[in-house]
Chain A
Amino acid sequence: MIEFVLDSRSKVNTYMQLVQQVKQALRVGLLTPGDQLPKVRDVAQSLAINPNTVLKAYRELEIEGLVGGRPGVGTFVQRTLASASLPNQAELRDDLVAWLHRAQAAGLTAEDVIALVETTLRATLADDAPQKEPA
């Protein structure tokens, strides 16, 4: 069982923080298939947040196939994120290091790099997820 914590200064909204914490726990192996997530009531009470927010986070995880609800019992982990992404990360990291060297050679400072990454990231993700804009 894990315990959720909220970062009150984070701009990320509450339900997304819960989702990210579960995913993080899955990545590092803190949660493995069969583990139970905290009960909605307990999370709502200990964090003093709306129970619907917790439900929404769990539903999101369910849609992604990471967890499954058993009526009357609770929500349980079905899949882990740990194994798949770790080797990928190493490879991507090598690419990134190579790219950063090129950027440095081209005269970009660290701040220039960050600004470039952020704008590109936003543009790319916006293209990938147009449904996030209100219709």
Chain B
Amino acid sequence: MVLEADRLGKRYGSTWALRDCSLHLPTGRIAALVGPNGAGKSTLLHLAVGLLKPDAGTVRVFGRSPYGDTEGLADIGFVAQDTPLYRDFTASELVVAGGKLNKRWNAALARTRLAQLGIPPDKPVGKLSGGQRAQVALALALAKQPRLLLLDEPVASLDPLARREFLQSLMGSVAESGTTVLLSSHLLADLERVCDYLIVLNASQVQLTGTVDDLVAGHRQLVGPRHDGGAVGGVAAVIRASHTDRQSTLLVRTDGPVTDPAWTVREVSLEDVVLAYLADGTTKTSHSEWGVAA
């Protein structure tokens, strides 16, 4: 297990940025951390890389508590949101800097990657395009040869072409190194083909976590006559329901085949599942915030 969180919480003042967060990330996965802005994605990543100290619960990376653990940092590559780098440094100086800051550092790997991508070595990175800067940040994170790579909204600020190039280069290197990856995005569409594991955060809580295959296989859309809320064979939970006066459309988590002929059963896409969980979390929160029953 690469990353484990147990009832992890982080508070800023009196508001919880992350609460009761329990999840685990198995080795070799490329996991997407999805949720709207402000859902606690960055907080979770900062806790995992030891920038933040938990206020509740625990987080472990390779079995170690990351806060204040300098040695553990060697195994974690981290690219923060907006890929901050010293803007007056050139890419080649950043590679040197990385060598001075890390015991394990594959400068040749970084140089080769940057050369393949056509990044000019002697231009200050502040003068590179956003896509190129993201590539430099990724190359630096990979030069640590980390066992876990954490990327915070790596493609959010990139144009579609740079976004694709970034993901191409990420997938190419992950295929080679076998690194476990956790990358966040507020848009699932960016990561849908990239991830095989999913963590959905909303309103500072984990809504959903599991492998993409299990999540897609474990959910179905049911369309049938208006549903009164009674049990349906094979349905473990109704995640989202919408009704007209005659018909109900349900997105359900299944625990067996739905055989009731009254229902038309459809397979769902990953996006359908995620949206259902996000909508569910949002309405719950806003009801509690407005002080009315859901």
Contact = CB atoms under 8 A, between A and B. Distances in A.
B168 to A, nearest CB: 4
B149 interface: no
B174 A44 contact: yes
A121 interface: no
B203 to A, nearest CB: 28
B175 A47 contact: no
Interface string B13-50: 00000000000000011100000000000000000000
A45 B166 CA distance: 10
Contacts, number: 58
A21 to B, nearest CB: 15
B172 A45 contact: yes
Interface SS of A by simple majority: helix
A45 B194 CA distance: 10
B122 interface: no
Nearest to A45: B172
A11 B269 contact: yes
B289 interface: no
A82 B168 CA distance: 33
B82 interface: no
A38 to B, nearest CB: 12
A134 B254 contact: yes
A44 B195 contact: no
B120 interface: no
Interface of A: 6, 11, 13-14, 40-42, 44-54, 130, 133-135
11 contacts: A41-B175, A42-B172, A44-B171, A44-B172, A45-B169, A45-B171, A45-B175, A48-B167, A50-B196, A52-B29, A53-B193
